[in-house]
Structures are given as C-alpha cells and as structure tokens.
Amino acid sequence: MESATLTEEWKRVLWKSQPYPDNYVPPEVFLASLQRNAHFRPYTYWPLVFLACTITQHVSVILVFLGTFVRLNEHLLDPRTLIWACIASFLVCYAMWILLDRGKRHPNVQKSGDSNSKNHLKTLKSSIMVFLTLVSLSPVLRTLTAATSSDSIWALSAVLFLLNTLLADYTATNNAQHGEIHSRLTSVLSMNAAISASVVLASRLSTDISVFALILFAVLSFVLYPIMKPRLQGLSTGLWLFITAALCGFAVYLLAPLSTTVTAICAVVLFSITFVAPMLLVWAQKYKNNIRGPWDVAVPKVR
C-alpha cells in the first residue's frame, strides 16, 4: 500500500498537512482506543427504590382520587367531610411550605415583613378566588356530560389519567431544595389531563356539593401536591418513604371495600413499581454495551 511506504509519523489532526488520506488510521491504533460503556455508573437497588417512590406516589394519588369518586358516587362519603378535609390539608401544606421556605432562605437575603405579608395576602386571595370559582361552576360541571353515556366517560377518564401518568415529571431536582421550582411543558400537560379527567368524572355525580368537593380534592391532589412534592423529597429520606407507604396504604384502604379484585391488582402494581422494576433495571445493566472508538465524531476540546 502507498500508506505503508510513507515514513512520516501520522498524527490525528486535520489542521496539519500530512501525506495520508483524511480517513486514514493506522491498523495498530484503530482498536487501541476502543471504549466500552465509558462514563458508565452502575445502578444500585435501594437508591432506585427511593427514586421509584415518586412514581408510586403518583399512581397512589390517582387511586385515592378514584376511590374517593366511587364513594361519593355511591353516597358512602359525605361531601362536606371531604371539603373540610381538603381545607385542613391545604392549611397544613401551606404552613409547611412557609416553614420550609424560611429554613432554606439564605442568611444574607432578608425580606421585609411587609413583603411577606403581601405574599401571604396574595395567596389567601388566590385561594378564595379558586374556592368561589369552583362553587359557582359546580352546577355547570354537574350537567356538563349529561348527554354522554357512562361508558364513554369511563373510557375518556381512563385515557386522561393514563396521559397524566405518562407525562408527569418524575425528575428529582436539587433546585427544589433551594426554593427554585421550574415547571416543564410535560408536567403542565399532565396536570391539565388530570384536571380534565376529574371534571369528566365529577359530571357523573348527583349533587352540586359532591361535584364541588371532588373538584376541590382534584386541585389539591394534582395541582398543589406536585408542587409540594419536590421539597418533601429533598427534606428527609425517612419522611419520603413514610409518605409513600401512607399513600399506598390509604389507596388500598379506600379500594378494599369496593372490589377485592381491583384492590389486589392495584396492590400488585404498586409493589411492582416500587420493588420489582428497580430489580429488573439492575439486572438489565449487564447487557448494556455502548462502544466508542476512533470512528465516532471527534469532540473538540476548547482550552
């Protein structure tokens, strides 16, 4: 070969004029730089279980909402009790938000008392506006799907909740620990799908107060709790695991009197998401084979 007769030392640069083709690589160094699974960090089981708790919580919240809807539809739950429970939960979560915000605040950043009072007053006004809006729209929402069959409603709500689960943001961000929360487009679409499914289901209830209670519970579950969730995840590992176990247990408790088969299926799904799926991911790591070599596009290094 002509390249074999060349005596000048080959260098892997393009800016220098060399008596070699641009795509020339010496045979002895072609596979010398072969890399398998470069920068690969193997997963371990329990950290994956901890991360999977986010998905488990999301599915548990949906199951709790569905169990609450069935109880309202079958008149097994007083809507007034649900309304007071939502109000109490909102006040507790808001108090926790204020405490966490004060605990994470930088010591050099001081906000005046007037600014804090304005923020609290703005939050109170927004909460009252949402409350009154839901009250006024409850009669309209109750008759929203009066001309639609129940089978179509169940199918539509199932598709919307599936869309909510697929588009939800399960990313564990460290920015939430510093008070920075950035909403993604998928999380906004996920929230809209959940609220739409809630409105569709609420339209099958018989009284206006039941519709109002269910929509208020939906806002608390699919709008406010996802905002609070990143801060709770970064607060304490034990607290995060306790919340996950509590939501799973509450979901099973609500579904158990309604259907034994559905309860068993939901319990298996929650167990599989939390414990089986991380085990499968750890097992599948040994089949990962990412090969990199001199045939890849060169990455420029700026110094």
Given a contact cutoff of 8 angstroms between Cβ atoms, the answer to whether 213 and 79 are in contact is: yes
**Cα–Cα dist 237/73, whole Å:** 37
pLDDT value for 262: 92
Show pLDDT as tens, one digit a residue, over the chain (303 residues). 444 445 677 777 778 888 888 777 777 776 777 777 777 788 899 999 999 999 999 999 999 999 999 999 999 999 999 999 999 998 898 888 888 777 665 555 555 445 666 666 777 777 778 778 888 888 888 888 888 888 999 999 999 999 999 999 888 654 444 444 445 667 889 999 999 999 999 999 989 999 999 999 999 999 889 888 888 888 888 989 999 999 999 999 999 988 899 999 999 999 999 999 999 999 998 888 777 776 677 677 776
All residues at 6 or more sequence positions from 287 whose CB lies less than 8 Å from its CB, including other chains = none
pLDDT value for 175: 47
Contacts 24+ apart (CB under 8 A), 157-163: 157/197, 157/200, 157/201, 160/193, 160/194, 160/196, 160/197, 160/200, 161/62, 161/193, 161/194, 161/197, 163/189, 163/190, 163/193
pLDDT value for 160: 95
pLDDT value for 264: 95
**Cα–Cα dist 55/58, whole Å:** 5
pTM: 0.80
- Beta-bridged to residue 35, according to DSSP, are 292
**Where on the phi/psi map is residue 175: left (φ > 0), alpha (ψ -120 to 50), or beta?**
alpha
What secondary structure letter does DSSP report for 273? I
pLDDT value for 1: 44
CA distances to 18, 274, 277 from 283, rounded to whole Å, are 48, 15, 10
Residues in the chain: 303
All residues at 6 or more sequence positions from 135 whose CB lies less than 8 Å from its CB, including other chains = 212
pLDDT value for 179: 42
**Cα–Cα dist 82/128, whole Å:** 17
Q: Residue 198 CA to chain centroid, in angstroms?
A: 18
User: How many Cβ atoms from other residues are within 10 Å of residue 61's Cβ?
Assistant: 21
